């Protein structure tokens, strides 16, 4: 998209030219009927061009203009010159969100001649050629703020509002100076108990620290907040966490009751602390194990015994249970050996296929063995899960 503007005695005008990837061209002429500066007319052309692009469902756009100031302001390479220009840029930023990609580039005036010719047609109010779209702008695209008349100081009405903020030190100073107490009995007892930690030094209230008894200067809450700002943002500030801010203020011999709350509030509201704080990577809820949902994919192996010798001298039993179907396979043993465990497992493989996972309980006979795969005609080394590194127990 190429855009440009022209100002003359007849008024202002703007031209917009769209060139597609197939070299098709769309031409638009804007007739501006209100008083506009050169930069305002440039922004009107760019703004209406983006609106046309949105209406045409264009998602990727290259914008070219010959005004260095406007292109630099749109690229955020320089600051805005007035509030009106700031409002134009804000409207353009909102339209940028409707594109997958948009880029502003500056071109010299010679490369912007087609848009310049369209803008001259709009400013001169000349006849428009066929195939060119025309639009008349009667009012600006932004609402201009009305100027407020200044009222002389003699005619101004000054309303004095009494301060609603009560200094927390006042009650302690009154009690320590003149033994003044509140009317409520509960408040009086609380004040007398808390006043044991405060003393007056040259008319200023000081608080004894809990550990070393060092006197800390009592300051109002607003001064305490300013002090935290200096600690956090000052020339020697290190953007410390809230637990360190109030500690630094206390070590500097300052105190106010809401110091911990004010430090946490300051830390929560500071944008940099929100960006660079340690992120919590713990899942929002506990992970739930998904069991095997198909038969003979997960087997549990275990050994029972020793029992009293049964007929045949059997004292042990190897048991294999499918976790999904609860199918049971077993093998009677005279003595528990690794070879017998492998024989049971090979029998399971040949009948039900190679399982996805195996769960075992105690015993070294399940820790690993080599067996022959008759289907593949090869030797396979299998390492089962033992009690040393259990996947699950039982």
CATH number for the domain formed by residue range(s) 170-273: 1.10.340.70
| 17 strand-pairing partners | 2, 27
Phi, psi of 62 (to 5 degrees): -105, 125
Boundaries of every domain in the chain: 2-137, 170-273, 298-382
The reported pLDDT for the residue numbered 270 is 73
Give the class (CATH, top level) of 298-382. Answer: alpha beta
Nearest to 96 by CA among 116, 68, 76: 76
Mapped onto helix, strand or coil, the DSSP state of residue 92 is: helix
Helix, strand, coil percentages in the chain from 3-state DSSP, rounded to 5: 35, 25, 40
- What does the alpha-carbon distance between residue 82 and residue 68 come to, in Å, rounded to a whole number? 16
The reported pLDDT for the residue numbered 165 is 52
The reported pLDDT for the residue numbered 277 is 64
Whole-Å CA distances, 44 to 70, 118, 119, 225, 330: 11, 14, 12, 46, 85
Nearest to 60 by CA among 98, 93, 101: 101
| 298-382 shares the fold of 2-137 | yes
Give the predicted TM-score (pTM) of the model: 0.39
**Architecture of the CATH domain 2-137:** 2-Layer Sandwich (3.30)
CA atoms lying within 13 Å on the CB side of residue 129: 8
The reported pLDDT for the residue numbered 164 is 45
143 contact partners, CB below 8 Å, separation of at least 6 = 87
Instruction: Provide the strand spans (E) within the chain.
Output: 2-8, 11-19, 25-32, 60-65, 101-106, 132-137, 198-201, 204-208, 215-218, 254-255, 298-304, 316-322, 328-333, 357-360, 369-373, 378-382
Whole-Å CA distances, 134 to 128, 130, 215, 359, 365: 8, 10, 79, 78, 89
pLDDT mean for each 10 residues of the chain (394 residues):
85 89 89 85 89 90 89 82 82 88 89 88 83 85 57 47 63 84 85 85 82 81 85 67 78 84 80 66 71 78 86 89 88 86 86 82 52 51 43 45
The reported pLDDT for the residue numbered 381 is 47
The reported pLDDT for the residue numbered 63 is 92
- What does the alpha-carbon distance between residue 319 and residue 36 come to, in Å, rounded to a whole number? 91
């Amino acid at each position: 998209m190429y855009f440009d503007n022209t100002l003359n005695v007849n008024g202002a005008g703007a031209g917009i030219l769209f060139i597609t990837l197939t070299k098709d061209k769309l031409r638009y002429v804007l007739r501006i009927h209100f008083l506009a500066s050169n930069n305002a007319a440039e922004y009107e052309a760019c703004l209406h061009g983006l609106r046309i692009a949105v209406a045409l469902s264009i998602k990727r756009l290259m914008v070219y203009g010959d005004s260095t100031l406007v292109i630099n302001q749109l690229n955020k390479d320089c600051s805005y010159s007035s509030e009106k220009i700031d409002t134009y840029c804000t409207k353009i930023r909102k339209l940028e969100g409707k594109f997958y990609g948009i880029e502003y580039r500056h071109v010299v005036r010679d490369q912007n001649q087609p848009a310049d010719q369209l803008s001259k047609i709009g400013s001169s109010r000349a006849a428009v050629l066929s195939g060119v779209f025309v639009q008349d702008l009667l009012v600006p695209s932004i609402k201009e703020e009305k100027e407020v008349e200044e009222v002389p100081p003699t005619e101004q009405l000054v309303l004095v509002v009494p301060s609603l903020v009560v200094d927390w030190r006042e009650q302690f100073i009154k009690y320590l100076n003149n033994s003044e107490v509140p009317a409520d009995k509960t408040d009086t007892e609380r004040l007398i108990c808390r006043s044991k930690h405060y003393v007056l030094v040259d008319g200023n209230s000081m608080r004894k620290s809990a550990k070393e008894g060092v006197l800390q200067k009592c300051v109002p809450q607003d001064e305490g907040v300013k002090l935290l700002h200096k600690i956090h943002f000052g020339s020697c500030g290190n953007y410390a966490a809230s637990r360190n801010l109030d500690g630094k203020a206390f070590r500097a011999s300052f105190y106010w009751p809401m110091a911990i709350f004010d430090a946490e509030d300051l830390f929560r509201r500071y944008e940099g602390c929100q960006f660079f704080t340690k992120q919590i990577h713990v899942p929002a809820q506990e992970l739930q194990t998904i069991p095997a949902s198909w038969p003979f994919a997960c087997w549990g192996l275990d050994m029972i015994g020793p029992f009293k010798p049964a007929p045949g001298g059997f004292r042990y039993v190897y048991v294999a249970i499918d976790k999904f179907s609860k199918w049971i396979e077993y093998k009677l043993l005279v003595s528990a050996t690794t070879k017998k465990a492998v024989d049971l497992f090979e029998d399971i493989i040949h009948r039900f296929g190679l399982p996805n996972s195996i769960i075992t309980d105690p015993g070294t006979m399940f820790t690993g063995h080599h067996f022959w795969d008759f289907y593949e005609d090869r030797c396979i080394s299998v390492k089962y899960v033992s009690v040393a590194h259990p996947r699950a127990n039982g």
